């Protein structure tokens, strides 16, 4: 299973641990923002869009439980939250879940486990945990075999074309901003500005050109979306 590119907010006041986590996750392909205290975490978590939050319980000022509660109840944030704590007590875990946490990891932890839990949370949030077949109208994408058909006819996809089509089908009928599409495909290592355009051109040739009506639509300056046949 491919590793997802994602943007994560890490909230941890222990700077040596934070530096270790940031280095590991950035090497794994994540983009990280960092907050060392509760107020900064609340601000970043409220104004920015993240794929997941890593939230330490013991923080100066506002603790992780209150941050989690405020992000869920006051800011209406549905972003997956993974809480970190040095206290392996059931009451703490239950409180974390009550305040809106999605998962819990006790210190000390192994970095590969942190990565695996983040990937699981992000996949679940994106609706990719149990899917095998994505379908929009006559278009089907098998995420196990990485093959696609439209009206029962096989569609040839490049590896990048497959990734783009999966994102567009997952988000359909919503518009996917160009920047969000580029980030999910390439993280911070975005190629030159013509690269996405070229991949979309090739994808349209496969998905739309042999058929009577287009499904992939580009809104100039805004993004791309996949719709039912018109």
Parallel/antiparallel/unpaired status of strands 52-56 and 31-35: unpaired
pLDDT in tens, 178-213: 888 888 888 777 777 688 889 999 999 999 998 888
Could you give the percent of the chain with pLDDT greater than 90? 47
pLDDT the model gives residue 149: 93
Parallel/antiparallel/unpaired status of strands 81-85 and 103-106: parallel
Number of Cα atoms under 13 Å in the Cβ half of residue 19: 3
Residues β-bridged to residue 176: 224
Q: Per CATH, the architecture of 7-125 is what? A: 3-Layer(aba) Sandwich (3.40)
Q: Which residue has the tokens 């109840």?
A: 73
20-24, 114-118, 128-132, 144-148: which range is least confident on average? 128-132
pLDDT the model gives residue 212: 86
In this prediction, residue 229 has a pLDDT band, given cuts at 50, 70 and 90, of low
101: how many CB neighbours lie within 10 A of its CB? Answer: 22
What average pLDDT does the segment 137-152 reach? 88
Tell whether omega for the bond before 13 is within 30 degrees of 0, i.e. cis.
no
Q: Domain boundaries in the chain?
A: 7-125, 133-226
In this prediction, residue 95 has a pLDDT band, given cuts at 50, 70 and 90, of confident
In this prediction, residue 145 has a pLDDT band, given cuts at 50, 70 and 90, of confident
pLDDT in tens, 74-85: 888 889 999 998
What average pLDDT does the segment 59-74 reach? 91
Measure the CA–CA gap between 171 and 169, rounded to whole angstroms: 5
Tell whether omega for the bond before 72 is within 30 degrees of 0, i.e. cis.
no
Instruction: Give me the helix-helix angle, 38-47 and 64-73, nearest 10°.
Output: 20
pLDDT the model gives residue 127: 67
The more confidently predicted of residues 24 and 144 is: 24
pLDDT the model gives residue 33: 96
Return the CATH class of domain 133-226: mainly alpha
């Amino acid at each position: 299973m491919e590793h997802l590119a994602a943007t994560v907010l890490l909230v941890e006041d222990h700077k040596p641990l934070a530096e270790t986590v940031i280095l590991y996750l950035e090497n794994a392909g994540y983009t990280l923002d960092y907050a060392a205290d509760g107020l900064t975490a609340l601000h970043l978590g409220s104004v920015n869009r993240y794929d997941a939050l890593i939230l330490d319980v013991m923080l100066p000022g506002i603790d992780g439980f209150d941050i989690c509660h405020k992000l869920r109840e006051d800011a209406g944030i549905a972003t997956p939250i993974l809480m970190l704590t040095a206290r392996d007590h059931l009451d703490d875990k239950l409180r974390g879940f009550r305040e809106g946490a999605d998962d819990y990891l006790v210190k000390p932890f192994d970095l590969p486990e942190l990565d695996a839990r983040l990937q699981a949370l992000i996949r679940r949030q994106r609706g990719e945990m149990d899917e095998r077949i994505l379908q929009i109208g006559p278009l089907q994408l098998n995420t196990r075999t990485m093959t696609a058909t439209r009206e029962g006819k096989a569609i040839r996809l490049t590896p990048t074309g497959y990734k783009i089509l999966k994102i567009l089908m997952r988000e359909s009928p919503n518009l996917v901003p160009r920047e969000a599409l580029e980030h999910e495909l390439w993280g911070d290592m975005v190629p030159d500005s013509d690269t996405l355009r070229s991949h979309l051109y090739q994808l349209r040739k496969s998905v739309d050109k042999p058929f009577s009506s287009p499904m992939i639509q580009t809104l100039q300056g805004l993004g791309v979306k996949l719709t039912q046949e018109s």
